[in-house]
Amino acid sequence: EVQLVESGGGLMQPGGSLRLACAHSPISVADYAIGWFRQAPGQDREAVACFGNGIGMTYLTDSVKGRFTISGDNAKSTVYLQMNNLKLEDTATYYCAAYLGWDSSCRPSSYTYWGRGTQVTVST
């Protein structure tokens, strides 16, 4: 079983930046996809960014393109989500997830292992 622990959430003003980190148990990063998803109250969980290190592929949902970046540090078994120019609508609980494979559509239903989430609140 893959364990994932998110950190780095918090309260930020619009236009600010946060970096989320997902520490995962040792896995073959060449085989696994790791993604960031978010869920706001009353809304479905949605994809934010997915990362397939082994195949050099990334996915970013349209609403975060140009603002968010996903990257991995294999030596630290950590995947990061750098979030710049935060907007009010980025407020949500952010989850890290992993699964063996690669889904080019970054669908939450594809992912097997999930962290508990970290809260991001963007507010004036």
- pLDDT per position as a tens digit, 28-62: 777 899 999 999 999 999 999 998 877 788 899 99
Confidence (pLDDT) at 56: 80
C-alpha 97/C-alpha 3 separation (Å) is 9
Count of CB atoms within 10 A of residue 116's CB? 10
Contact 39, 46 (CB under 8 A): yes
C-alpha 36/C-alpha 51 separation (Å) is 9
| pLDDT above 90 for 87 | yes
> Stretch 73-87: mean pLDDT, rounded?
94
Q: What percent of the chain has pLDDT over 90?
A: 81
Confidence (pLDDT) at 2: 92
Confidence (pLDDT) at 106: 92
Confidence (pLDDT) at 20: 98
The two most distant CA atoms of the chain are separated, in Å, by 41
Q: Which two tokens stand for residue 25?
A: 């148990």
Q: What percent of the chain has pLDDT over 70?
A: 100
Q: Kindly report the average pLDDT of the chain as a whole number.
A: 94
Q: Which two tokens stand for residue 33?
A: 């996809």
Confidence (pLDDT) at 80: 96
Contact 33, 102 (CB under 8 A): yes
Cα dihedral 115/18/50/42 (nearest 10): 60
**What length is written for the chain?**
124
Contact 118, 20 (CB under 8 A): yes
Confidence (pLDDT) at 104: 87
